[in-house]
Amino acid sequence: MRAVGLSNESPYGVHEFVRLAEQHGLPRVATVQNPYGLINRSFENGLDETCHRLGVSLLAYSPLGFGLLTGKYDATGLVGSHGRMALYDSMKAQRWGRPEALAAAKRYNTLAREHGLTPTQLALAFCYRNPKVASTIIGVTSLAQLDECLDAWSVELSPGLLKEIDQIRWELRDPAQ
């Protein structure tokens, strides 16, 4: 084992794991793997400060919101599509299947297109360029998807675009929390 990591943890939980490791001479927590992306920025509601102060890195998962932030559900919603959110009722029952999560994703996807980006580029560049994120966990089912995810690495988001992203976030909060 090279490092200890946590998943889906709270600020208190991270703090307690670090405290107990230090108290008992155990390996210290190095990372927390929590959801983070445009439609779920709940990491920024206190866990970011905890991680920063304790030197714990974020491994962001679901930066594309289970596909909502790729644009593939914009026209049809969660029906009539071949994505897993449309195919499996169990997926629709999770936070990513909430109507408000899809509505927020559509807003971000529209914003991406208005700035000459694909929805995937906007969503991933938001994570890739965020100093709070140590690594972004992506999932792909084709080489074309992998190429798009890798291409997003070179995308820079302007301060104006980041401000527009924050305006949507303040209005809609974290609908996939």
pLDDT (tens, 9 = 90+) of the chain, 177 residues, equals 778 999 999 999 999 999 999 999 999 999 999 999 999 999 999 999 999 999 999 999 999 998 999 999 888 877 766 676 666 666 665 767 788 999 999 999 999 999 999 999 999 999 999 999 999 999 888 899 999 999 999 999 999 999 999 999 999 999 988
Strands annotated E in 8-103: 29-35, 57-61
Report in angstroms the alpha-carbon separations of 159 from 68, 86, 162, 165, 167: 24, 34, 5, 10, 12
Full set of structural domains in the chain with CATH: 4-172 (3.20.20.100)
Cα torsion angle, 114, 120, 123, 127, sign: negative
Strands annotated E in 16-167: 29-35, 57-61, 133-137
